[in-house]
């Protein structure tokens, strides 16, 4: 069984026990977090229709930075070049369960 859940504005396909990287979340390493915006649950290829709203519980493992993203801007024949980059702040979480 897996679930589609909305975490910090992005949709993720998750299962219990998976570790995923999401945008930076509030809290420290070891804290428990819950996500209530579950979009869909699928079991054995069919959509599960629940009366109660499901909740996904997870544990924050660590906060880190992603890979460097480079943006290069150039206008030809004008002598304009600009190279900028950044590293996105991320949080690694482990999915404990889907209730």
Give me the torsion for CA of 14, 19, 22, 25, rounded to 10°: 110
How many C-alpha atoms does 64 have within 13 Å on its Cβ side?
A: 11
Which pLDDT does position 49 carry in this prediction?
Answer: 75
The pTM assigned to this predicted structure is 0.81
What angle is formed at CA 90 by the lines to CA 87 and CA 94, rounded to 5 degrees? Answer: 155
Which pLDDT does position 48 carry in this prediction?
Answer: 82
Mean pLDDT of 2-22: 94
- pLDDT (tens digit per residue) in 44-78: 888 887 657 889 999 999 999 999 999 999 999 99
Rounded to whole angstroms, the Cα distance separating 22 from 19 reads: 10
């Amino acid at each position: 069984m897996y679930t589609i859940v909305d975490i910090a504005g992005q949709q993720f396909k998750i299962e219990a026990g998976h570790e995923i990287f999401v945008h930076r979340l509030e809290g420290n390493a070891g804290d428990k977090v819950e996500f209530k915006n579950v979009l869909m649950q699928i079991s054995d290829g069919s959509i599960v229709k629940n009366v109660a709203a499901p909740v996904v519980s997870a544990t924050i493992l660590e906060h880190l930075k992603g890979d460097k993203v480079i943006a290069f801007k150039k206008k030809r024949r004008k002598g304009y070049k600009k190279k900028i980059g950044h590293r996105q702040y991320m949080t690694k979480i482990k999915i404990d369960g889907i209730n």
